[in-house]
Chains A and B, each alone.
Chain A
Amino acid sequence: MSKFRNAAALLIVLAAGSAAAETQTARDSAFAAGQPLGLGRAALPEEISAWNLDVSPDGTGLPDGSGDVMTGEGIYLEQCAACHGDFAEGLDNWPSLSGGEGTLDRDDPEKTIGSFWPHLSTVWDYVHRSMPFGNAQVLTADDTYAITAYLLYSNGLVEDDFVLSRDNFAEVRLPNADGFIEDDRAETEYPAFSTEPCMESCKDSVEITMHASVLDVTPGNEGDATGDAPVEAALD
């Protein structure tokens, strides 16, 4: 209601024009104060529920429903396995969804739901909204519970008779839940990198230690090869 009252007030101010200095001031301060301008309209409950699909780590946002591992396997084989493999191991360059436990401190960590992801909510949320790739938002809530149960099973985290539902969702804890820290660059990097730098005679010698041409994977070069790509995981 107050929105419409403000809109009406604004219209009156605008109608008065800019002739009177005090009206001008009133209008400016209305904008400056960040008061509502009366634009937009109320979102309807049906509209909000159609778009407000995100699920938070504590399960907020989960709809009613449930699904078990075996049902999930059936849907998964039909909808997901062509890219992600029958056992969620990943095919070709497509993402692996299982495996990689204990690899995070190695040279080429294998980062999957089981080895890396902190929260099950993200699995449910992302699958429900954005998968299958190229045909998203076709999975029902029950489908998504079932696929999520199957992904837990594929990662060795539940038995094959496991049933996932909104009621027991928050009880599931992924292995790497504690594997994340908030950005600490302000403590670990900024002080070290904020000293006055050397300008002259900063090193005794300089040697080239690595050449991009050895790999020769740049487009336009001969031998545009399929290469091992550290950033691949970031971009899939």
Chain B
Amino acid sequence: MDHRPGTTSRRGFMRAGLAASVALPAAASMARGQGTPDPLITEVQDWARYSGDGVDATPYGLPIQFESDVIRRNVSWLTADTISSINFTPIHQLDGTITPAGCAFERHHSGAIELAKPDYRLMVNGLVDRELVFTYADLERFPRRQGVYFCECAANTGMEWAGAQLNGSQFTHGMIHNMEYVGVPLKTLLAEAGVKPEGRWIYVEGADASSNGRSIPLEKAMDDVMVAFKANGEALRKEHGYPARLVVPGWEGNLWVKWLRRIEVTAGPVESREETSKYTDTLANGVSRKWTWVMDAKSVVTAPSPQVGITHGPGPLVITGLAWSGRGTITRVDVSVDGGRNWTTARLAQPGVPMAMTRFYLDHLWDGEEMLLQSRAVDETGYVQPTKNALREIRGENSIYHNNGIQTWWIKKDGSAENVEVS
């Protein structure tokens, strides 16, 4: 918690103000004042006198030092090593919908490899009329497409199946990023090779040692899958698949093969390691679902949340979060401050974008009492984000992947927050 001098007295003042009147907004934004001039205003500051950096100081910049906590974090005990592992996007500190690539989560199975454009080759083989090899330069000559999509790891929130475990939306919901991609539709590349009638699936794999091979039905491949080489305006980051990755809108992140090197058209699924041993969802009776590709509608309140406590005391409070659905657009997000007893429909920052993150806000007047904060997403199919208990009733606790259950944050009177589960 924040213990800077002055905080307590300011909060005390504001509490008094709240009791006296609801005309709080003016008081809440006040720093010093009430007779004591603010030296940040009355004294000339260095930045108002001396020059700042020249335009040649930073050819490619990083965030200002004061934002040094807005970073990826990993959880060391989750995996045996950091090479085949995961880290987490600091969604608790971000706003809007676009994830800065520099802090967008990573998930590798044999590390983030360095693959230069001149060394890049993409092969299309199998049940095609012409088995082909493309260079990176070839890729840039195909007609392009642009789209904003979320990439959510199938295991996002997976640590929470058996109960509340990690304390912060970064850790419970941060295996996700949302970027604006530019690339080539996969159907364009497949047309170049000419898919034979007996080709019903594609098998895609990366250039890294793990290969991450996955099977995808041809129908999806010919629909909206793209081979992307730009994200958020620039080349993909090394750790996100430079120079080319697959973008598979709405489907689990594992299918978004990075450092894509080969597309094979096949008659059937390969049933690779990543779609048998992994990315299959074991139900309570021991039977496992396979090919659970779509990521269902989901949301989370990113602030306030355990890493972002309320430090300003009662009064106006911005409750905000993210919602997304692999089955289309988010049409509505409801927010509850009482653990799901009552719901208020939040405000979407902009209309939902298909298979992309949507930002929601609920402008709330906090009375300083405890809250049990929840959000509940609704998508264009009419699907309503379920509770975790509703999911467990169907699946049990061992399915690891695809946990899109409603998250609860317990906001305490001091403004701190904790990951909890409620009845």
Among A125, A126, A199, A217, the residue within 8 A (CB) of B165 is: A217
Contact check, A234 vs B155: say whether CB atoms are below 8 A apart.
yes
Interface string of A207-236 (1 = CB under 8 A from B): 111111101011111001111011111111
Q: CB within 8 Å of A: which of B368-420?
A: 372, 376, 378, 381-386, 390, 394, 397-398, 400-401, 410, 418-420
Q: Is the pair B133, A47 in contact by a Cβ cutoff of 8 Å?
A: yes
> With an 8 A cutoff between CB atoms, is B211 at the interface?
yes
Q: Do A218 and B211 have beta carbons less than 8 Å apart? A: no
Least CB distance, A228 to chain B, in whole angstroms = 9
**B285, A105: Cβ atoms under 8 Å?**
yes
Name the A residues within 8 Å of B109 (CB-CB): 130
The answer to whether B171 touches A193, judged by C-beta atoms less than 8 angstroms apart, is: no
Residues of A within 8 A of B154 (CB): 234
A42-B418 CB under 8 A given contacts A182-B291, A202-B343: no
Contact partner of B293 among A122, A126, A183, A209, CB < 8 A? A183
User: Contacts of B75 on A, CB cut-off 8 Å?
Assistant: 217-219
| Interface assignment of B339: CB less than 8 Å from any CB of chain A | yes
Q: Is the CB of B77 within 8 A of A130?
A: no
Question: Which A residues are in CB contact (< 8 Å) with B132?
Answer: 40-43
User: Looking at chain B, what size class is its interface with the partner chain?
Assistant: 35 or more
Does B123 lie at the interface of the complex (its beta carbon under 8 Å from any beta carbon of A)?
yes
Contact of A54 among B171, B272, B341 (CB under 8 A): B272
Query: Is the C-beta of B261 less than 8 angstroms from some C-beta in chain A?
Result: yes
Q: Is A198 close to B, CB under 8 A? A: yes
A20 interfacial by beta-carbon distance below 8 Å:
no
Query: How many chain A residues touch the partner (CB < 8 A)?
Result: 93
A189 contacts partner chain B, Cβ-Cβ < 8 Å: yes
The chain B residues found within 8 Å of chain A, CB to CB, are: 73-80, 83-86, 107, 109-110, 123-126, 130-134, 138, 141-143, 154-155, 158-159, 161-168, 171, 187-188, 191-192, 194, 203, 205, 209-211, 213, 261-262, 264, 266, 268-273, 276-278, 280, 282, 284-294, 296, 306, 334, 338-343, 372, 376, 378, 381-386, 390, 394, 397-398, 400-401, 410, 418-423
A-B contact pairs, 28 of them (CB 8 A): A31-B143, A34-B187, A39-B142, A39-B192, A42-B133, A43-B123, A52-B125, A55-B270, A94-B80, A104-B282, A105-B286, A109-B282, A117-B277, A179-B287, A183-B292, A183-B294, A185-B292, A193-B385, A193-B386, A194-B384, A197-B343, A218-B75, A219-B73, A219-B75, A227-B77, A229-B77, A235-B84, A236-B80
A sample of 18 more A-B contacts (CB under 8 A), given A35-B191, A133-B110, is A36-B194, A39-B192, A40-B132, A42-B133, A43-B123, A52-B126, A57-B268, A180-B280, A180-B288, A182-B291, A188-B394, A200-B342, A211-B410, A211-B420, A212-B165, A212-B418, A230-B162, A234-B154
